[in-house]
Structure 1
Amino acid sequence: MQADYILGKNPKSMSYMVGYGQTYPIHVHHRGASIASKFVLHSVVGCVQGFDTWYRRPQANPNVLHGGLVGGPDRNDNFDDDRSNYEQTEPTMSGTAPLVGLFTKLHSMNSNYEARPNPTKNQPKSGVPVEFYHTITDSWTVGRIAYYRHKVTIKNQSRKPITDLKLEIENLSGALWGLSPTRNKNIYELPKWIKVIKPGSECSFVYVQGGPQAKVSVQSYH
């Protein structure tokens, strides 16, 4: 299905909807996403300054444009995640609108299915009942290196409590708060005072590093 391709089932394993999944474009051709907030910079960035200072930076965008659908790959599935490559990395309303219509249709079909469950058949096995929401809450520059403070919210999307949640965090190069390391490399667990994540509830952790965000996934849970 085309929606599956857009959301990551493609040769690049790349979600072309920004903010969805573990891997998505981080150099989106978008002024609001590529320039840090004035509340962080404490000054307004003009057009020329934005182009000269922020446009060609190799670092990831300081703001994640959640829900933006970029132009995507070429006919050979090649994708160059570069701000200057606006044909592939620029999100547009005309490109996003058809996908919104498709998701609306799929949502209505799913709602109808759930409203008339077949008790004689087993319901499809659900995936991992946890979703991650990544946000950048602060940024600063030391020398020529830009650092970002990332906040990751963990939400239990299921109807059952989750215990003993362990996360695998890859590409982490800075400090982390809110999780406890285990004996296994890159594996972290919730602090002792969070014994359970109730249905619909959430918790969070933060980390600081330069460059792209770390990759967070579920290693195990009960």
Structure 2
Amino acid sequence: MSRKRLTQEERKQETRKMLLESAAETFAKLGFHGASVDKIAEFAGFTKGAIYAHFKSKEELFLALLEQQMQSHVNTIHQIMDEEHSLEHFIKKMGHYFDMDREQNQAWSSLNMEFLLYAMRDESVRQKWTDMILESVEQLSDVITKMKSDEEGESNLSPEELAWTILSIENGMAIFNIIAGNNTPSNLYGKALQNILQPSSCKDIDSSSKIK
């Protein structure tokens, strides 16, 4: 059976995908500053010109990976929301997912910290990252709005503010996990998420424990 010939656009997308995969491995091994365009191209089996045909710079290549990572995270949240039809189950599943992701993507968290320092000194890179964060906040706000629509009680924070808070907790805990390792409390993210999204249930639990 003959293989279907790819169109020019399909070949372009395939090459871009391979470059991104190679870049992810190279950045993970050498860090953002240690990974050069030459090394990324060598790892992928392409010329340096092939990289510049798709990305203007190493920074743009990293930002493409960052966008991919952030969108994957949001997609997972949407998937969990579709699978879990109650806020309580959603929170439990998210807590489990965060703990798993934190263990598996520690190298990526370290890269984020390294790139953060670079972005703070480059206004154009910082702005591009900001745009991606704002998009993630908007998508997460939509998820929160849908999840809380059938729940009783109101939060003092808007869905947008809740999204900012949740993303801040995720990133902060990822950083502390790199530094402090197992000293960080287990299941803290799930507990924090419950306090943020279901504050009334936390009060009920506290009250019942005091009565006993």
**TM-score class normalised by the smaller sequence:** under 0.3
Task: Identify the structure with the greater strand proportion.
Answer: 1
Determine which structure has more spread, i.e. the larger CA radius of gyration: 2
Normalized per residue, the structure richer in helix is 2
Q: Normalising by structure 2, report the TM-score.
A: 0.26
Please report the TM-score for the alignment, with normalisation by the length of structure 1: 0.25
